[in-house]
């Protein structure tokens, strides 16, 4: 199909919103390893997970067999407020790069929370409400997940308690106020409101917190209050499942114009947006219907796929969560304080970890100044101010498009633009001021955190 026939934005109609999420585990020959009970090392069953998670979400977490899971009407109704999201042909970026490649990006930043996280937040809030719960607890790092969950909880009239990593709580007051506007209660973590928070504060006085530590606090808060459950914004298979709405829409849009992607690129923190974007395409690959490449992009300062180990590890600092088999840097790994680009979780989705171990996806680690440089170039030609996380994917999409310039190949490159960067202006400021550095952990640094991985 000739270029000019592909519009700048491929919009879908409301009727084209997916009716089911796609569960890639059904098509995987090697299933992701089960979550283990940290005390007995036995696989977690429904009843083991019930005190922490919502019933319906546990079923989704444990479901390795059903390829399609219907999206309830109430969730689809909410999706209609901001979905289907556009698939954009990056004509202006292509022109700037002088590449014969065709670049497309799926933009998930078009809602108040500013990222894809709302896709799972609304699903999790819905199932909590349906179960008759009073509220949910969670952690948030940079704040996107907390914001998304606050919006979702206010929609379903649920109480929302957010443990926010202390340094973000202090550095991102505007995020905090967005959450409060939607009615959420925000506590800086580690706090003195939980046992595990008090313990961490005593052990590491003056600590500014970490995601792993906020998770432990949120889990404790959920299990100690009647009518509450814990919800998580990434890593878990249920979250990746909800995010497949991104990939399903992308597939419908590309199919409409007969476009076959040669590679799909996404940033990887806990792996939910990348997993959601690639799942349906991975399904085609697993069924032998396509040979598309998939590239996970992570920060060089938190390189769980490219330098981590594929083992069972703790998901949180306080060791209250189940053990997950994943590519991990060790639950006590904390990226350098100068790392500003997000994607700072020590582990990776067990689904993506298995696919990576099976060599079905590739991974690349990129340094943060190169990421912000790509963000700046992208913003100047495509107009959107990208989130630093998303910019990891932009960086590698641009690298791949430049390779096409050398070889003269008109490859179809698709990447996920997960969100906008309006709350990351300190990071952009450091970049603009030239004070941003690149901090890559040494093997010694990594070894220290690897030593905290449980051995059994």
Ligand X SMILES: *Cc1c(COP(=O)(O)O)cnc(C)c1O
Positions in the binding site for ligand X (CB under 6 A) = 115, 117, 144, 234, 267-273, 343, 387, 389-390, 418-419
Closest contact distance (angstroms) between CB of 269 and ligand X is 3
Crossing angle of helices 388-407 and 368-382, rounded to 10°: 80
Contact (Cβ atoms closer than 8 angstroms) between residue 275 and residue 238: no
Query: Is the Cβ of residue 6 or residue 165 nearer to ligand X in the bound state?
Result: 165
Tokens (6 digits) for 305: 């796929």
- Nearer to ligand X (CB atom), residue 115 or residue 189: 115
Nearest to 153 by CA among 134, 139, 172, 173: 134
Instruction: Name which of 172, 203, 80, 96 is nearest 423 in CA terms.
Output: 172
User: Which residues, listed in sequence order, are joined to residue 312 by a DSSP beta bridge?
Assistant: 325
Host H or E run for residue 62: helix 55-62
| Of 214, 195, 57, 238, the residue nearest 137 (C-alpha) | 214
DSSP state, residue 25: G
Residue number with the shortest CB distance to ligand X?
419
Q: How far is the CB of 278 from ligand X (least distance, A)?
A: 11
Tokens read off for 342: 């997000």
- Written as six digits, the tokens of 190 are 């580690």
Tokens 């046992």 found at: 195
Of the pair 6, 184, the CB lying nearest ligand X is at: 184
- Rounded distance, CA 113 to CA 194, Å? 27
Closest CB 53 distance from ligand X, rounded Å = 17
User: Whose Cβ is closer to ligand X: residue 54's or residue 142's?
Assistant: 142
Residue 136 parent element (H or E) = strand 135-140
Task: Give the integer Cα–Cα distance in Å for 328 and 324.
Answer: 10
Other CB atoms within a 10 A radius of the CB of residue 73 amount to 9
- Output 115 or 210, the one with its CB closest to ligand X: 115
CB of 236 to ligand X, least distance (A): 10
* Tokens 């680690």 -> residue: 365
Q: CB-wise, 129 or 342, nearer to ligand X?
A: 342
Q: Residue 182 Cβ, how far from ligand X at the closest point, in Å?
A: 16
**Nearer residue to ligand X within complex by CB, 108 or 400:** 108
Which lies closer to ligand X via its Cβ, residue 410 or residue 425?
A: 425
Least distance between ligand X and beta carbon 193 (Å): 24
Q: Cβ atoms within 10 A of the Cβ of 2, count?
A: 5
**DSSP one-letter string for 157-181:** T-EEEEEEEHHHHHH-HHHHHHHHH
CB of 237 to ligand X, least distance (A): 12
Degrees to nearest 5, angle at CA 379 with 378 and 382: 75
Indicate the residue among 23 and 234 with the shorter CB distance to ligand X. Answer: 234
8-state DSSP, 315: S
Q: Smallest distance, Å, CB 201 to ligand X? A: 26
């Amino acid at each position: 199909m000739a270029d000019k026939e592909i519009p700048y934005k491929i919009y879908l109609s409301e009727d084209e919103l997916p009716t089911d999420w796609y569960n890639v585990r059904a098509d995987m020959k090697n299933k992701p390893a089960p979550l283990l009970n940290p005390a007995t090392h036995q696989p977690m069953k429904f009843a083991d997970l019930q005190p922490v998670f919502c019933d319906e979400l546990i079923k989704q977490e444990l479901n390795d067999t059903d390829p399609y899971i219907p999206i309830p009407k109430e969730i689809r109704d909410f999706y209609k407020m901001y979905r289907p999201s556009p698939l954009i042909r990056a004509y202006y970026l292509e022109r700037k790069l002088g590449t014969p490649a065709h670049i497309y990006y799926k933009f998930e930043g078009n809602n108040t929370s500013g990222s894809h996280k709302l896709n799972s937040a609304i699903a999790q809030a819905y199932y909590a409400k349906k179960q008759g719960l009073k509220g949910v607890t969670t952690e948030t790092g940079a704040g996107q997940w907390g914001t998304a969950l606050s919006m979702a909880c206010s929609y379903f009239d649920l109480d929302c308690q957010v443990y926010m990593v202390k340094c973000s709580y202090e550095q991102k007051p505007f995020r905090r106020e967005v959450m409060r506007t939607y009615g959420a209660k925000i506590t800086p973590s580690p706090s003195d409101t939980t046992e595990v928070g008090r313990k961490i504060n005593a052990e590491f006085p003056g600590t500014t917190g970490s995601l792993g530590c906020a998770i432990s606090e949120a889990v404790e808060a959920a299990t100690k209050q009647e009518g509450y459950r814990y919800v998580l914004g990434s890593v878990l298979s249920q979250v990746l499942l909800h995010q497949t709405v991104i990939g399903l829409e992308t597939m419908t849009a590309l199919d409409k114009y007969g476009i076959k992607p040669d590679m799909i690129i996404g940033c990887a923190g806990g792996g939910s947006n990348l997993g959601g974007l690639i799942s349906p395409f991975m399904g085609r690959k697993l069924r032998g219907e396509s040979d598309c490449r998939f590239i996970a992009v992570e920060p060089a300062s938190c390189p769980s796929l490219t330098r981590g180990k594929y083992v069972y590890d703790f998901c949180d600092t306080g060791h209250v969560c189940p053990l997950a088999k994943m590519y991990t840097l060790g639950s006590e790994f904390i990226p350098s304080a100068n790392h500003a680009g997000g994607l700072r979780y020590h582990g990776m989705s067990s689904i993506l970890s298995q696919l990576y171990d099976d060599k079905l996806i590739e991974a690349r680690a990129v340094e943060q100044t190169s990421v912000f440089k790509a963000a700046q170039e992208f913003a100047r030609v495509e107009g959107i101010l990208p989130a630093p996380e998303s910019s990891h994917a932009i960086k590698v999409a641009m690298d791949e498009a430049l390779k096409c310039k050398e070889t003269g190949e008109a490859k179809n490159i698709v990447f996920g633009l997960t969100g906008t960067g309006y709350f990351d202006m300190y990071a952009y400021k450091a970049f603009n001021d030239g004070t941003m550095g690149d901090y890559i952990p040494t093997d010694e640094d990594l070894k220290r955190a690897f030593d905290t991985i449980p051995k059994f």
